[in-house]
Structure 1
Amino acid sequence: MTPPPGYRRKGETFVCRLHKSLYGLKQASQQWYSKFSASLCNYGFKHSEADHSLFHLGMGTDYVFVLLYVDDIVITGSNDELISSVKDMLHQQFHIKDLGPLKYFLGIEVARSSHGLSLCQQKYVLEILEDSGLSGARPSDTPMEQNLKLTDTGGSLLSNMSSYRRLVGRLIYLTVTRPNIAYTVNTLSQFMHQPHQPHLDAVHRLLQYLKATVGQGLYYSVTSSLELRAYCDFDWARCPMTRRSTIGYCIFIGNCPISWKTKKQHTISQLSAKEEYQAMAVTTCEITWLSYLFQDIGFSIPKPVLLFCDNQAALHIAANPVFHERTKHIEIDCHLVREKIHKSLIHPSKIPTASQVADLFTKSLWAVISTAS
């Protein structure tokens, strides 16, 4: 960087020594995190090994949690006096602004009551609709047309690709509180490199669905148990261009969803049981991470965690320690899942296809409704 105008005379050559990192430098974010975490650790907080942006402090039966995202901070806990003392410590070391009870954080609206906590992104959705010029569009009942097969060759190439990429990027963040659009957004994000007109039409259809469901979000009840349940599923050879499969999972704590994912596989599979088992392995990794996170913050979850899938072959592979000719190529996934089964972390269970919650993350909403009916 160069000194500001007027600070250096013409012909002079010298360097400046920084006493603290300047905003905008490459190392500024790391320096800020190091200083903030050091202040909390000196006060008695501990890092969460599962998530280094989460800090926790326990004093007897009372506890405080601090969640950091760049320079936005959320503080919560079980004791108001302990929370106030943490705020006073932060006020002494940093210039912070106390915004009171949490109502809005990173585009997520928070509403609390004695019955539970609700999260939504209504304001964020309305901004997307206004920026895209679809505030007055006709609402839609589903996020994607029935039996729609998007490819990378149909239709005319968009002249302004950056607007499509920006719009889909904003929709990706919307899946934080809207798991019902995760599959559609995942499909649309696969055409960011060269979007065509049918892809933009599909985005507009999704926005019409968002207009009809602008206030939807997540609700977490105070009466919910701490029992984890996981659902995993796959859709074999879903991609019409590459014939790769799509896997998805959803994890609940009580009746409240806390983690979900939709992902297209990197390779082509000739065996449907392999895809289901890979979905089980991916879900098992997420359950393992969640168990570490709960352990760090002092909560114990009942084990084993029920892992529901609707593929009988995958369940047989998990229960059978012998590798046959058609299952040798999934040996690593088998070892991962079986290890967690032997450690009583998970317990795979059969579930009817009509009751498979993870269908929402591998198929369009039309197909899920048809299967359930």
Structure 2
Amino acid sequence: MDLLTETGMLGCKLADTPIKMNHKLCEDIDQEPTNKEQNLHLVRRLIYLAHTRPDIAYVMSVISQFMHSPSISHRNAVDQILRYLKSALRKGLMLSKNGDLEVVGYTDANWASSITDKRSTSGYFTFMGEKQMELHCDNKLANNIAHNSVQHDQTKHVEVDRHFIKEKIEKKIICQPFVKSEDQLADILTKAVCGRVFHDSLTKLGIGDIYAQT
């Protein structure tokens, strides 16, 4: 509410997601610049907010790349975040008491996704729980490498990591089941997704109305 009041956006239209799908945000020197100091102050506050709001983690990883040389398109993207936050004022991550000690993780990487420098974006969620750890991955090649010792010659640059993971799988400390892309919860940390997928993932992650009566 403080952010919306400060920016004069209390009466803004709502946004269903914090970032548009297929966005083309990049560093473009030909675009019209915006107020650097104002934008920098706002982005810093949003980065702080993202520590407790994983639903804006991905968009902040994108926006923060341009915080020192922002253009109109970057400020429009920041306004999109604010319009989303207005629609999700009551959302938060509810940490509830649970006797289950299972550990389940979802991991995803968006290879060479940056338009500016072709860097990749990776992200993961971890649920605390029972004994054998599940690490859900939607990359079949990564799964095959973890389970199949024959393919190690093709991956010498990650040989140490591969042996470490394979050892944990053989000892049944970790299991690595394949998960379909539509069920990959970590997608919202690495890319812009449609509203349906975005809100479905938030529900599964336990991000909802923290003020609702239980």
Residue 196 (structure 1) aligns with: 71
2:146 is equivalent to residue 318 of structure 1: yes
Q: Is the 8 A contact 2:182 2:197 kept in 1?
A: no
2:190 is equivalent to residue 362 of structure 1: yes
Matches within 5 A, 1:284-363: 302-322=130-150, 324-363=152-191
Equivalent residue of 1:349, what SS? Answer: coil
Residue 54 (structure 2) aligns with: 179
Q: Is the 8 A contact 1:183 1:361 kept in 2?
A: yes
Deviation of residue 223 (structure 1)?
4.2
Residue 205 (structure 2) aligns with: none
Q: Which amino acid aligns with 2:65?
A: Q
Q: Is the 8 A contact 1:306 1:348 kept in 2?
A: yes
Choose between structure 1 and 2: higher strand proportion.
1
Matches within 5 A, 1:207-356: 207-223=82-98, 225-253=100-128, 302-322=130-150, 324-356=152-184
Change (3 A) 1:336 1:192: farther
Equivalent residue of 2:161, what SS? Answer: helix
Deviation of residue 208 (structure 1)?
0.4
1:167 to 39, 42, 61: 42
Same amino acid, percent of matched pairs: 40
Change (3 A) 1:332 1:157: farther
Residue 16 (structure 2) aligns with: 141
Change (3 A) 1:183 1:224: farther
Show structure 1 runs of 5+ residues with no match: 1-125, 255-301
Deviation of residue 312 (structure 1)?
1.3
Choose between structure 1 and 2: higher helix proportion.
2
Hey, what's the Cα distance between the residues in 2 that align with 1:239 and 1:128?
28
Deviation of residue 231 (structure 1)?
0.4
Hey, what's the Cα distance between the residues in 1 that align with 2:84 and 2:107?
25
Q: Which amino acid aligns with 1:316?
A: N
Hey, what's the Cα distance between the residues in 2 that align with 1:329 and 1:231?
23
Hey, what's the Cα distance between the residues in 1 that align with 2:68 and 2:84?
25
Q: Relative contact order (alpha carbons < 8 A, sep ≥ 6): 1 or 2 greater?
A: 2
1:156 to 13, 32, 53: 32
TM-score by length of 1: 0.49
- Name the larger-Rg structure: 1
Change (3 A) 1:367 1:208: closer
Deviation string, structure 1 residues 243-285 (Cα, Å, up to 9, x no partner)? 222111101125xxxxxxxxxxxxxxxxxxxxxxxxxxxxxxx
Q: Is the 8 A contact 1:359 1:368 kept in 2?
A: no
User: What do you get for the CA RMSD once the two structures are aligned?
Assistant: 2.1
